[in-house]
Amino acid sequence: MGQLETLSFTGRPLVICDVDEVIVHFTRDFESFIGDRGLWLDTSSFALNGNIRHRDGGRPATEAQVAQLISDFFDERTRHLAPIDGAIDSLLHIAETADVVLLTNLPHTSGDHRRENLAGHGLSFPVVTNSGPKGPAISDLVKRSKQQAAVFIDDSPAFISSAYDHAPDVHLVHFLHDERFSRHIEPLDFVSLRTASWTEAKPHILGLIGGA
């Protein structure tokens, strides 16, 4: 049975939330991880491919090397990632009004590590591991929940755009925690909110779903 088929909904509004760089820190831990391997992250554009460089000479790691680094990082570090300020308390508050589902792109083999990490931070919401664009999964979740009031939160402009393409009635919150990357991303005119903090995101989301 697929991950989505195992979910149940209460009829309350639906909030779908990304994990890396929205709930837990990814970039700072990934920079430490690759630093131990003689590499550094160039933040001159919003990408990993082409921006992970060797300290010796500055040449970029190959796409195959980047893919392996990301896989190894999730395998070794997922259980230990620290939460972003305000994320845990905000989502627990939101969950008083809404069903919360965490939709995360990482290797399916690291899914249980992700669940363990989030549970350790006090979040026991369903975690759906995904690969590729998130729009199809978001559309499916909205249909299953039978909810008109739905919100999706993510840092990736590609995933935000995918959500808009597949589920245009969903309210979109573009959460850009790391200014080094957010400065490269043009505003998307179809998002409900672009923000760098949960202090701003929480009341906005509660307003969208009728919470307090």
Please list the residues that pair with 101 across neighbouring strands: 16
**pTM of the predicted model as reported, rounded to 2 decimal places:** 0.95
Q: In the prediction, which pLDDT does 88 show?
A: 98
Query: Domain coordinates of the chain in residue numbers?
Result: 4-25+81-209, 27-80
Q: In the prediction, which pLDDT does 100 show?
A: 98
With bands split at pLDDT 50, 70 and 90, how would you rate the model's confidence at 148? confident
pLDDT in tens, 2-14: 898 899 999 999 9
Please state, in angstroms and rounded to a whole number, the distance separating the CA atoms of residues 50 and 26.
18
Is the pLDDT reported for residue 16 higher than 90?
yes
Q: Domain 4-25+81-209 adopts which CATH fold?
A: Rossmann fold (3.40.50)
Please state, in angstroms and rounded to a whole number, the distance separating the CA atoms of residues 127 and 124.
8
Q: In the prediction, which pLDDT does 46 show?
A: 85
Q: In the prediction, which pLDDT does 98 show?
A: 96
Q: In the prediction, which pLDDT does 208 show?
A: 96
Q: Is 97 within 8 Å of 209 (Cβ atoms)?
A: yes
